[in-house]
Amino acid sequence: VEPGSSHARLELTCPICLDYFRDPVTVAECGHNFCRACLSQCSGEFDTEATCPQCRGTFQKSSLRPNLQLANVVEIAKKLGGQTVQGAEGKGQACEKHQEPLKLFCRDHETPICLVCDKAKEHEGHKVIPLEEASQEYQLTLAALYLSYIHSLQKETKAVREETVAEFRRLHQFLEEQEKRLLAQVDQLQEEIARKAEDHLAWLSKELSSLEGIMWEVEKKSWQPAAELLQVGGGRSPHIPQEGDSTRHCLPLHGLLLIFSFPSFPPSLTANVTLDPDTVNPNLILSEDRKSVRRGDQSHDLTTKLDRSMDFPFVLGREGFRGGRHFWEVSVECGEEWIVGVIPSSIRRKGKVKLPPQEEIWAMGCFKGGYSTFSHSLSLSRKLKKIRVSLNCDGGRVAFYDADQGTLLYAFSGVSCAGQTLSPFFEANISISS
C-alpha cells in the first residue's frame, strides 16, 4: 500500500489491535467493525451484553454479524502491501530471496517481485508490470470495494429503518382502532346507563306520588273516631309498601358493565391447544390432527344444565398451564350440545369420571338450545359459533367471549392456580381454531 492510501489503510485497521482486520465482525447497533477475537477479549467471553470500544454504545453480542466484504478487501490489501500495517512501512520492501528492491508486480502470482525474480524460470512468461502501476490499480480497486461496502451498509441500514418505522406505524394504527372501538363502547354504555337512570327516576317519581297518597289517606283516617278507624272492611288495610319491594327496580349496572369488552388478544398470548388422546372418553372420537372431537355411536345425553354429579364423557387439552395469560378459540357451530372450559389437570384420565366440586371447574355450555354455567343461565340474543376461552392464571380469572362479536359472555373470578396445573376441557362436537 502506497503512502497516498493511508486513509484506505486506516479503514482496514482494527481500532483495538491496530492491525489489519482478522475475521471482522460488525456491531449491528452502531455499524463499527472489529476483529472477532479482539472484541471478545475486550467484552468478556461469557457476557451477553457488551459496550462498543469505539462509541461506547451498548449492544447484544448475539447481534454481531460477520463482515465478509471487509474481509475480502483486507485480503487484497495484504497481498499488495504485506501482512500488517506496520510491516508495510518497514521490512518487506526488499525481496526476501534476492534482497533486491521490489520494483515489479507479477499479475499471475499477484505478488511484488524484484528484477532478478523477473528473469527467473518461476516467472517466465508471466505478465509483469511496474509496482507503482500495480499499486495505483489496487488503490482504485480498494476504493471501489470500499465504496461498494459503504453503499451496501447504508442500503441495509435504510431497509432496517423503514421496516422499523412501518412496524411502529402498524402498531399505532392498531392502537388507534382499539381506542375508537373502546370509546364507542364507553359511549354506548353511558347512553344505556342514562336511559336506565331515567327509567329508574320515573319509577321513583311514581312511587313517591303513590306514597304521598297513602300518607294523605293515613292522615285522614287518623282524625276519624276510633269506631270508624277500625272499620276498614273485608279485612283490608291501606297498602303500605313492604321493605325490599323496590329491589327489582335497582339500576342493573352489573349487567350493563358485562357488555363492555376488551380488544382482541395479542398473538403472543394465543395457546396452541391440541386434544390429549390419553384422556379421551371411549364415546368420543378425535380427529387425526387432534383439533376436533365428536360423539361416537353411543350418544351421551346432556342434561338441561351442567350437573357435577353425572358421569361425564370428556377430553382434555394436552397443554397445561400454571401461570401467565393464555387464550384459545373453539368452534361450536357444528354441535347442538357442547361444553368448553378449564379444569384441574389432576382429573386427567380416560373413561367416565365424576366432575370435581363446582368451585374447581370453570365451564359453560349449550344444552337444549340454551346456554348456562354451573350456577347461571345465560340469556344470549344470537347463536354462538365460536367461543374464545381466556385464562389468566396470575389474575385468577377464566372468561368466555363471543369470538365473532368480541363481547364478554361470562367470567369466573377467584380461580386458584396455586400448586396445580389447569387444562383446557371439552365435551361433544367442537373444533379448536389454529
Over the stretch 277-291, which tens digit does the pLDDT of each residue have? 888 888 888 888 888
Predicted local confidence at residue 414, as pLDDT: 86
Beta bridge partners of 400: 389, 410
pLDDT bin (cut points 50, 70, 90) of residue 149 is: confident
pLDDT digits (tens, 9 = 90+) for 246-271: 444 444 444 434 334 444 555 556 78
Beta bridge partners of 325: 392
- Return the closest-CA partner of residue 189 out of 139, 242, 130, 255: 255
Looking at 23-164, which runs of residues are DSSP E strands? 24-26, 33-35, 49-51, 58-60, 65-66, 104-106, 111-113, 128-130
Beta bridge partners of 340: 364, 426
- Return the closest-CA partner of residue 305 out of 236, 378, 250: 378
Is the model's pLDDT at 78 over the cut of 50? yes
Round the average pLDDT of the chain to a whole number and report it.
77
Most confident of 154-158, 181-185, 366-370: 181-185
If 0-12 CB within 10 Å is exposed, 13-18 middle and 19+ buried, where does residue 136 land?
Answer: middle
Helical (H) or strand (E) element with 229: helix 226-229
pLDDT digits (tens, 9 = 90+) for 322-364: 888 898 999 988 777 889 999 988 875 544 555 566 667 899 9
Cβ contacts of 166 within 8 Å, gap of 6 or more: none
Domains, the chain: 3-165 (3.30.40.10), 268-432 (2.60.120.920)
pLDDT bin (cut points 50, 70, 90) of residue 400 is: very high
Mean pLDDT value of segment 217-243: 59
CA 250 to chain centre: 42
pLDDT digits (tens, 9 = 90+) for 129-146: 998 888 888 888 887 888
